[in-house]
Structure 1
Amino acid sequence: GAFIKFVKLGFNRWRANLGKNFKEVFTYKQWRRLTHDLKFQLKAQPTDLTFNQWLGIFNFYLKSVLK
């Protein structure tokens, strides 16, 4: 479903960090907030995140970006 497509977007570019892969989705300010709230590095790789961190990013996307 939608969550799987969202995660695939995070893995979109080879060796690119998540901030770059999601730069068309989140503002820099939103991304900084997510890294702080979900406790991952600003330039984290997709494989660095736990399932719960991925879920947190997706939930933020649903509530704050898609509204």
Structure 2
Amino acid sequence: MSLSIEKKLYIPDSSVLVDGTLREAIKEGRISGDILIHMYLVRHFRQLMAEGRGEGDIGLREIELIGKICKKMG
């Protein structure tokens, strides 16, 4: 007999970060599992911010907020 425990892994794209969809889904408990924010997205948002585009700042702030929410939730 073997026991298998599956854990879901979510890899979001930039759109769900910028529009706040991912943060809201986490707060509402609709996401269970691990969330992986790819370094490419962090670099992408930093580049946008360097170009003066608001999406960069929004994306980086969302990543920070999501981290804080997840830390609180354990």
In the superposition, the TM-score normalised over structure 1's length comes to 0.34
In the superposition, the TM-score normalised over structure 2's length comes to 0.32
Which structure has the larger Rg?
Answer: 2
